[in-house]
Amino acid sequence: MLKQKPLVMIPGPTPVAEPIREAMAVQTYGHTYGGFVAIYKECLAGLKTIFQADHVIVVGGAGTLSMEMALVNTVKAGESLLIISHGLFGDRFGPMAKAYGIEADVLTCPPGERVPLPEIEAKLAAKKYAAITLTHVDTSTGVLGQAKEVGELARKYNTLYILDGVCASAGIPEPMKDYGVDIIVTTCQKAFGTPPGLTMVAFNDKALARREELGAVSGYYTDWKNWLPIMENPALYFSTPPVNHIVALNESVKLILQEGLEERYKRHERIGRSFRAGIAALGLKPVTSPEALAPTLSVITYPEGLDDAAFRAAMEKYDVFVAGGVGALKGKIFRVGHMGNICINELVVTLYAIERALTDCGITVTPGAGVGAAWSEWHKG
Ligand SMILES: Cc1ncc(COP(=O)(O)O)c(C=O)c1O
């Protein structure tokens, strides 16, 4: 019997489109082979366009490594870092800073809410910070950070601005120059829609000048200065790049640029809105406050009495995978990623599976309501 293809709607890894899968499956090139060098260069040039970046480093790893690379190269032991945290991934900068002897102040708020801008400004006005971090979308709470507004504050108080784009890049605008972002740290398995395995850091000349000013840093694989010559000329060697991943990422970058950045961001906004219309029609609510809803994922509160494990097991029966909660929200919510190379079709299947799973778990819903509402919202454009 033909096995149903599972639909992975967790907030990363996301479904991998056919051209990216095919690119991933090419016969592995030697990493200094001219054909591969050209692909690596093309990929880096495309990423610079997406982020308005002066420099981009793409190496084997994941999102956490990119966060670490940003800290290692721009903040030294004893200096202060201001972390704006909207959940588990914002918090992650704390222990990371500690590991390098960096003093971290963390601004937090209740799950699903945003740290108010005046609180951020008060901190920046009271103390000199070497850098400030913001998680563009915290995947644990679904909170969309105020990337542009924080950029204005970072400029005003002359601090380096690190934006964690892991759950946003390629799905939500991140124009570094327009927003005043100095460093974007990100990865490939979410809105880029590539299998996990790459770390990406985009930065400007100001961040590079900071790296130069630091002299020696507490890292080797993470030291930008070891990688920058390779990014200029990938025929050189520092450490073997994940060849197939880079070929796949280049395919993803080409798809993004072919779709067009504005079009792509608009599609994500439309997908987010349509999905949320669908869950509302099923009687479900996001945990995230309305002004902070992210286009890339939804974090949905369980109705009273609905068991996390039972619900997600029921979803799996319909071959649709969603994620459970992490951190403070474990057991209280489920998370659905709706980013990358997906469209209304995936939402329809997901919402149908949610409807079936809720019914299996004894929750009464109006049949077809979720799919119908999402479909109508989508067709508003
Ligand atoms: C916002 C955010 N930052 C950082 C990370 C860490 O990325 P990785 O798991 O690729 O190390 C994640 C992972 O989901 C994330 O969602």
Ligand 1 neighbour 199 (Cβ under 6 A): no
φ and ψ at residue 222, rounded to 5 degrees = -85, -5
Residues 82-107 as b/e (b if ≥16 CB within 10 A, e otherwise) read bbbbbbbbbbbbbebbeebebbbbbb
Q: Is the CB of 222 under 6 A from ligand 1?
A: no
- Element holding 286 (H helix, E strand): strand 285-286
Q: How far apart are CA 100 and CA 78, in angstroms?
A: 9
Residue nearest to atom 9 of ligand 1 (CA): 63
Q: Does 133 sit in the ligand 1 pocket, CB within 6 Å?
A: no
Q: What number does the ligand 1 atom closest to the CA of 168 have? A: 1
- At residue 1, the pLDDT reads 67
Closest CA to 197 of 134, 257, 247: 247
Is the CB of 326 within 6 Å of ligand 1?
no
Asked whether 135 lines ligand 1 (CB < 6 A), one says yes
Our answer on whether the CB atom of 164 is closer than 6 Å to any ligand 1 atom is yes
Q: Is 212 exposed, middle or buried (0-12, 13-18, 19+ CB in 10 A)?
A: exposed
* pLDDT by 10s per residue, the chain, length 381: 667 789 999 999 999 999 999 999 999 999 999 999 999 999 999 999 999 999 999 999 999 999 999 999 999 999 999 999 999 999 999 999 999 999 999 999 999 999 999 999 999 999 999 999 999 999 999 999 999 999 999 999 999 999 999 999 999 999 999 999 999 999 999 999 999 999 999 999 999 999 999 999 999 999 999 999 999 999 999 999 999 999 999 999 999 999 999 999 999 999 999 999 999 999 999 999 999 999 999 999 999 999 999 999 999 999 999 999 999 899 999 999 999 999 999 999 999 999 999 999 999 999 999 999 999 999 999
Give whole-number Cα distances, 204 to 31, 87, 257, 334, in Å: 27, 27, 21, 37
Domains and CATH numbers, the chain: 7-13+260-378 (3.90.1150.10), 18-259 (3.40.640.10)
Site to substitute for ligand 1 among 66, 163, 167, most atoms within 8 A of C-beta? 167
Supply the pTM of this predicted model. Answer: 0.98
Does any ligand 1 atom lie closer than 6 A to the CB of residue 62?
A: yes
Dist. CA 92 → ligand 1 center (Å)? 9
Q: To the nearest 10°, the Cα dihedral for 295, 296, 302, 307?
A: 170
pLDDT at 5: 81
Asked if 357 and 311 touch (Cβ cutoff 8 Å), the reply is: yes
Q: Is 169 in the pocket of ligand 1 (CB under 6 A)?
A: no
